[in-house]
Amino acid sequence: MPQDSSLSRIFSAAREEFAQLILERLPAARRAEIAAQLARDLDATERGRLVEKLVLEMPHDEQEKLLLAIAERLPAPVRALLLAHLAAEGKKGVQGILKAVLGFILLAWAAKAAEIPIEELWAALKGRLAAQAEDVPHVTPPPAPVPTPYPKPPRPRPFPERHRRTPGPTVIEPELVSVPEGEFWMGTSDAQIAWLVKHTDWAKRWRDEGWFKPEQPQRRVYLSAYRIARYPVTNREYQAFVQDEGYKPPSHWEGDVAPDEIADHPVTHVAHGDALAYCAWLAERTGKPYTLPTEAQWEKAARGDRDARLYPWGDVFDARRCNTAESGPGGTTPVGQYSPDGDSPYGCADMAGNVWEWCLDWYAEDYYRRAPNRNPPGPSRGDFHVVRGGSWIYDQRYARCACRCRGIPGSWGIDIGYRPVLSLARSES
């Protein structure tokens, strides 16, 4: 089996930097002690045992940070698998996943001398991670600060000039669409689940495992009128905020300037607090009460009020209308690239795929069973915030209008963004 030089190079760098990642997270006295030990001419086995002992001594939060730092140095296919399993497990699964990844990296470390093909190591990691977690519907989207390649894929249609953002004033106010007051269907019904079981190869397991339950019961919900951004906030728009406020930029930018090739892509690497900070800045600069949408506002904007469609365009999934794992380019795409075919009834773009979108609400799995049917505000507290819409990493299951997922408030990922909302009850229409 031929060895992949690119993968080998990345793993070689990971082996060399792994000890430094750990040392940075140790108290000063302990760091000096371990640095002295690592400076000795240890063989791979001795070095591996020392590193493993150090990792397992770390507090849980430090283990999580280490895992995310490791992810930055892994090849793209390995990193994607790692993040998918971390998403499924959340914080509770960090140590188990870290052990699997740690074991794999140590194996790679020792295998360098033995010239074991990197493909065999990749297969080993895939098997170990597969034993760690099953994919679940209420996933925590990958919270790792991992730089993502942004290829320039063939576009399904020319990117409309009217959707392009151009440099201008400091504040780039989003293009908004109006959502009228009234009721809409929120959630997923038993009849829709039965239809999905009949027409897809994944819904039976979701039904049998009870993974549709957070979306039930389906009910009529009344919302006051509001306006919501037609597109997720782009890197160009977020750049105006970063430069005006001196705010910390996303980690994959070049200082406080977004790379040109992703200027019109949704901004990512932003935590829930970053999204709220942007909305607060936008509200201050425009005098309008911008904030994040509640998940009810998000779902109505995605689904409309005429029916309870599964996707923004209808009930049948169509990979040509959105950027998901089925046919996407493996990264974010410019906002509006799939318009108008992928738009919602109100004209919102990218409500299915591209990036997950932060909502204002805390997440509670049983919230629909106790939520009010008029302007539901979400739970008063929680451990996670709601994210909606799926992303380029995830498939059609998560791109449904009613799919509810959760994100760790202080974490940010390569596929999480947001769009602001403006309540007409407190602003000019």
DSSP letters for 55-109 = HHHS-HHHHHHHHHHHHTTS-HHHHHHHHHHHHHHGGGGHHHHHHHHHHHHHHHH
Q: Residue 374's pLDDT is what?
A: 96
Q: What's the mean pLDDT in 315-326? A: 94
Q: What's the mean pLDDT in 21-36? A: 66
0.85 cut: is pTM over it? no
Task: Report whether pLDDT(384) > 50.
Answer: yes
Identify the top-confidence range among 66-75, 121-130, 147-156, 317-326. Answer: 317-326
Give the residue, 68 or 237, on which the prediction is more confident.
237
Chain mean pLDDT for the chain: 77
Q: Residue 45's pLDDT is what?
A: 53
Identify the top-confidence range among 98-102, 103-107, 411-415. Answer: 411-415
Provide the pLDDT confidence category of residue 350 given band limits of 50, 70 and 90: very high
68 vs 72: CA distance, rounded Å: 7
Q: Residue 58's pLDDT is what?
A: 67
45 vs 178: CA distance, rounded Å: 63
Q: What's the mean pLDDT in 100-122? A: 49
342 vs 312: CA distance, rounded Å: 7
Q: Residue 409's pLDDT is what?
A: 82
Q: What is the four-CA torsion angle of 387, 391, 395, 401, rounded to 10 degrees? A: 50
Q: What's the mean pLDDT in 68-87? A: 59
Task: Report whether pLDDT(4) > 60.
Answer: no
85 vs 304: CA distance, rounded Å: 33
Task: Report whether pLDDT(375) > 90.
Answer: yes
Q: Residue 408's pLDDT is what?
A: 85
Give the residue, 405 or 70, on which the prediction is more confident.
405
Percent of the chain with pLDDT over 70: 60
Provide the pLDDT confidence category of residue 63 given band limits of 50, 70 and 90: low
Structure tokens at 329: 């380019």
Q: Residue 49's pLDDT is what?
A: 61
In 3D space, the residue among 313, 302, 339 whose CA is nearest the CA of residue 223 turns out to be: 302
Q: Residue 158's pLDDT is what?
A: 34
69 vs 105: CA distance, rounded Å: 13
Task: Report whether pLDDT(101) > 70.
Answer: no
Task: Report whether pLDDT(271) > 50.
Answer: yes
pLDDT in tens, 139-193: 443 333 323 332 333 333 333 333 333 344 478 899 999 999 999 999 999 999 9
Provide the pLDDT confidence category of residue 84 given band limits of 50, 70 and 90: low
Provide the pLDDT confidence category of residue 321 given band limits of 50, 70 and 90: very high
> Within 10 A of 406 (CB to CB), how many other CB atoms are there?
22
Length of the chain counted residue by residue: 429
Whole-angstrom CA distances from 413 to 84, 181, 319 are 11, 33, 23
Q: What's the mean pLDDT in 282-286? A: 94
